[in-house]
Structure 1
């Protein structure tokens, strides 16, 4: 049965290849730092279970040290040159989007179809991971299509991947670390502590204040943790379940769905959501690294207010 192990192995192989290419890049004065960083990340993907909790913890500390002390630097690998790309764009036109569109199409098709495919009575793909497996399969199909269409140099895909990862740097792994932090917070009982604090502040019987505490808390925790999925278990255990669902009899589906959207409002306003706000600024080489955030705040704040009103108006009928 194909499950998460397939995705981890796929990712680990890619990171390992990038680490090897980094080690051989003599033009990059920080090549050994890059090779160590991506190599350790590959190790965590390929052998994380064997390392155990302590081994993985030490590995993460080494990654933090490499990034914190500036051992990771930007590279400029040789792939295709600008004239070649312009000629390719003129030749293929909108067909260049075919490989990119293959990813969502495969993810959707796999999610719908894999649950009906079994071999010897066992499912071909883990039913709980069909979307992730389909997404990884879509990436492989897209890579194959691009290679057949464009006929790039053999290592072009890996070199371009290395260029992008080195440009993003340590921020590429920030979502994983923040998601793990959310799990740690939930296991440590942070939600209960936050819930006690909210209960002490929100007046008894004031439904709107309780709803506002949840939506605002989702946005603020997301800004701190950089990930709405990490903030969700904390704020749901702290406010949504005890106050809004059990206390006021709210609809949990509506509260949870719109509560997550409230967290995304926080995503738009924080540099901690590096994959959304810092990475684009880096790749576009913007002069202001917070330019993306500044452009989004005027949208995020009104949306947060609207989300609060939606929960208040829809979840308690």
Structure 2
């Protein structure tokens, strides 16, 4: 059965290729950083908690050493028509594969169909680029490595912050927050619980920089005990709409550096928070819409 092992193999192979290309260009800091990521994908389930902890500390040490260099400048080229269509192959394959693989549960792990379909989409897009544009997969890896070099250590910030959310959940932060929120919500108020959940997802995301980090806390505090168990809400929309509310917070925080600060630096914007200011007009109405949508679904 195809599962996360396949996804980790694809991701690990990409980072290993980036490490080799970086070493060939004598970009030693970048090469070591990518090599450590490759090790985590290839052997993370074999080296244990201590080994993974040491690996994360090594990643932090490399990232803060100042040895990582930005990507090399690229000469501008005229846009090519097929590029957009080929880029859309990845989300199309992820959606189509998710629907298809669910029909054959013996082929793909039912809990990982989307990730497997996404990895298949990446490989399919690379193959089509080779056939249509006559560009080898190595050129695709080179372009991906150049983008990673531009982003730097912030490329792994979502994973680090998501791990922080899991740590907070295991430490019982969700229960503490739930006790405080529960005392402030009027008894029997579905709207109050919905507002607390949606607003809490956005605010925790603003603080932590990642909706995946905020979700374990707010799900344990409000989502599961109140919206699902007490008011009988369907867990699927509670989780999905809650994440959308959290993503509204992502649009508003410099903590989401890979989304909001790195693009401003790459585009050389004079206003370092220009991306956030531009997104606020979308994030706030969208947050309100998500809260009302969830209230309508549950009531």
Whether the 8 Å contact between 1:77 and 1:159 is mirrored in structure 2 is no
Q: Distance in 2 between matches of 1:250 and 1:3?
A: 30
Shift in Å, 1:204? 4.2
- Secondary structure (helix, strand or coil) at the match of 1:69 reads coil
Unaligned runs of 5+ in 2: none
- Secondary structure (helix, strand or coil) at the match of 1:155 reads helix
The residue aligned with 1:136 is: 119
- Secondary structure (helix, strand or coil) at the match of 1:287 reads coil
CA displacement 1:177-200 (0-9 Å, x = unmatched): 112222222222211011112223
Assess, with a 3 A threshold, how the Cα gap between structure 1 residues 315 and 65 changes in structure 2: closer, same or farther.
same
Shift in Å, 1:138? 1.2
Give the structure with higher Rg (CA).
1
Shift in Å, 1:117? 4.5
The residue aligned with 2:154 is: 171
Whether the 8 Å contact between 1:168 and 1:282 is mirrored in structure 2 is no
Shift in Å, 1:113? 2.4
CA displacement 1:249-292 (0-9 Å, x = unmatched): 55555544433222121111112223432343344333333211
Assess, with a 3 A threshold, how the Cα gap between structure 1 residues 254 and 4 changes in structure 2: closer, same or farther.
closer
Task: Give the count of matched residue pairs.
Answer: 299
The residue aligned with 2:179 is: 196
Shift in Å, 1:153? 6.3
Assess, with a 3 A threshold, how the Cα gap between structure 1 residues 101 and 54 changes in structure 2: closer, same or farther.
same
The residue aligned with 2:66 is: 70
Shift in Å, 1:305? 2.9
CA displacement 1:209-251 (0-9 Å, x = unmatched): 4332222111111112222233122112112333344445555
Assess, with a 3 A threshold, how the Cα gap between structure 1 residues 113 and 284 changes in structure 2: closer, same or farther.
same
Does residue 25 of structure 2 align to residue 38 of structure 1? no
The residue aligned with 1:109 is: 96
Does residue 281 of structure 2 align to residue 264 of structure 1? no
CA displacement 1:154-211 (0-9 Å, x = unmatched): 7322221111000000111111111222222222221101111222333445554433
Q: Which of 70, 81, 86 is the equivalent residue of 1:99?
A: 86
Q: Distance in 1 between matches of 2:241 and 2:111?
A: 24
Q: Distance in 2 between matches of 1:133 and 1:289?
A: 36
Q: Distance in 1 between matches of 2:125 and 2:42?
A: 23
Does residue 129 of structure 2 align to residue 146 of structure 1? yes
The residue aligned with 2:19 is: 19
Q: Distance in 2 between matches of 1:132 and 1:303?
A: 26
Q: Distance in 2 between matches of 1:261 and 1:101?
A: 22
Alpha carbon RMSD of aligned pairs, Å? Answer: 2.5
Shift in Å, 1:67? 1.4
